[in-house]
Amino acid sequence: MSAYEEEMETAGNLGRRLGLNRRQFLAATTGMAAAAAVAAAGPMKSAARAATAGNGVLVPPGKRGIILYTVRDAVSRDPRSTTLPSGFRPVLEELSRIGYKQVEFAGYAQHANAEGGANLETVEGARLLRTWLDDNGLEAEGNHGFIPGSWPLNQADLDRFKLHLEIANILGMSHVGTGNDPTGSAYKADWDVAADKWNTLGELATAAGLKLYTHNHDVAYSFLLDSGPLDAQGRPTRSSGIRRLEYFLSQTDPGKVWLEMDIFWAHVAQYKYKTYTAPDGSTQTQVFNPLGVVQAQTMRFPLFHAKDGKINTATSNGYDMVPFGTGDIDYKSFFSQMGAKGYHNPMYEQDNAPGGTANPAQSLEYSKLSYDNIAKLRG
């Protein structure tokens, strides 16, 4: 057997263990060495700042984060109407008191009556936010912010994107991104366009010392339509078996484009997207392995959304969102086996944390419960 054949056989064996076929594994790992080299020389502020911990702690104290979308009700609440923390400054103070060390922003808007006013998506607003972060020993790691929809870029979108890069640097971020998938399309041609756009935006972010990342929902890990007979609009109707976001990874520069895996939605994809129609018309089964995808190129996932789910097959998603540590997703295995210990930044998120008028304190209560459960994780 030649050296090349041995390499292909090794790739096939490892890919099968990760739940990927050989072609997918090779596509997923293309550029891995380049990614590691860029990561070593590029913006690695968060890894350098990471606190270490013994006793098998899987998420060190300095890496315990939260996306502010989880507590969006508190951030947007009128401080004049309640004694609960309301607006950015009091909410950041409360999150720090709980123990969080990292935050991920979900935009820069708050209630108009909160200190600083409604809109902090400005240079001055970013400086104010940075003061509150520093006062509370918090680090901003990223933001679900503005990504231009236009392509090619128009000047207005380009200027706003550059403003977001400037804001990110004022806040001390290592990453800047979005809460949306690169495209909602099922078709290869649209993912090719998305890859071109993200490579360009990633180059701008890298020049600003930042890592540009995209976020996933479950549909991004469904199967790409890239082959088979064409429909009336000339679009392919079948799949070669590669998933949309895996294809995106293979087409984007690993030194300019990164991902934030939402682990909950990845498990929903595991539940929902198990079969595809192959080019020959046959139905093929392939169960998605979220951990395997990360293991194959772990440096491309600097952030995660640590969102838990309790199995409920009576729903279309197969899971209900619950506070971290109260669900069925095996975070102990995920965090202990994903590789690159100390590199990743897991952000607790729970879309349904706000309790509304019935329980206005719920999102912060869930944040405390979830922080405690993250801190308890041991390998």
More confident residue, 182 or 31: 182
Is residue 123 domain-shared with residue 21, that is, in the same domain?
A: no
What pLDDT is stored for residue 327 in this prediction?
A: 98
% the chain with pLDDT above 70: 86
Mean pLDDT of 202-227: 98
Q: Say yes or no: 217 and 91 in one domain.
A: yes
Beta strands 257-262 and 303-306, pairing class: parallel
Answer whether the bond into residue 152 is a cis peptide, omega within 30°: yes
**171/43 same-domain check:** yes
Residue 66 CA to residue 312 CA, distance in Å, equals 25
- Mean pLDDT of the residues in the chain: 89
For residue 79, give the CATH number of its domain: 3.20.20.150
Same domain, 267 and 313: yes
User: 214 and 124, same structural domain?
Assistant: yes
Contact assessment for residue 226 and residue 188, using Cβ atoms and an 8 Å cutoff: yes
State the pLDDT at residue 80.
Answer: 97
The domain of 15 spans 1-29
Pair 25, 125 in one domain:
no
Its pTM stands at 0.86
- Rounded to whole angstroms, the Cα distance separating 286 from 239 reads 12
Six-digit token pair at 90? 């009091």
pLDDT higher than threshold 70 for residue 63: yes
- 24 and 123 fall within a common domain: no
Residue 374 pLDDT: 98
354 and 299 together in one domain: yes
* Shared-domain flag, residues 22 and 135: no
- The burial of 122, by beta-carbon neighbours within 10 Å (0-12 exposed, 13-18 middle, 19 or more buried), is given as middle
What is the Cα–Cα distance from 23 to 59, expressed in whole angstroms? Answer: 33
**Residue 301: which pLDDT band, with cuts at 50, 70 and 90?**
very high
Provide the residue type at 300 as one letter. R
Cβ contacts of 147 within 8 Å, gap of 6 or more: 161, 177, 178, 180, 201, 214
pLDDT band at 379 (very low <50, low <70, confident <90, very high): confident
Residues 190 and 203 occupy one common structural domain: yes
- What pLDDT score was predicted for residue 27? 40
Report H helices in 172-254: 188-207, 244-251
d(CA 362, CA 120): 25
- What does the alpha-carbon distance between residue 253 and residue 203 come to, in Å, rounded to a whole number? 9
Predicted confidence (pLDDT) at residue 240 exceeds the cutoff of 70: yes
Over residues 86-114, the pLDDT tens digits come to 999 999 999 999 999 999 999 999 999 99
Give per-residue pLDDT as tens, 264-295. Answer: 999 999 999 999 999 999 999 999 999 999 99
Q: How confident is the model at residue 55 (pLDDT cuts 50, 70, 90)?
A: confident
pLDDT of residue 54: 61
**48 vs 233, more confident:** 233
- pLDDT of 187 > 50? The answer is yes
Number of structural domains in the chain: 2
22 and 95 fall within a common domain? no
The token duo for 334 is 């995920």
Tell me: pLDDT of 125 over 50: yes
Do 158 and 255 sit in the same domain of this protein? yes
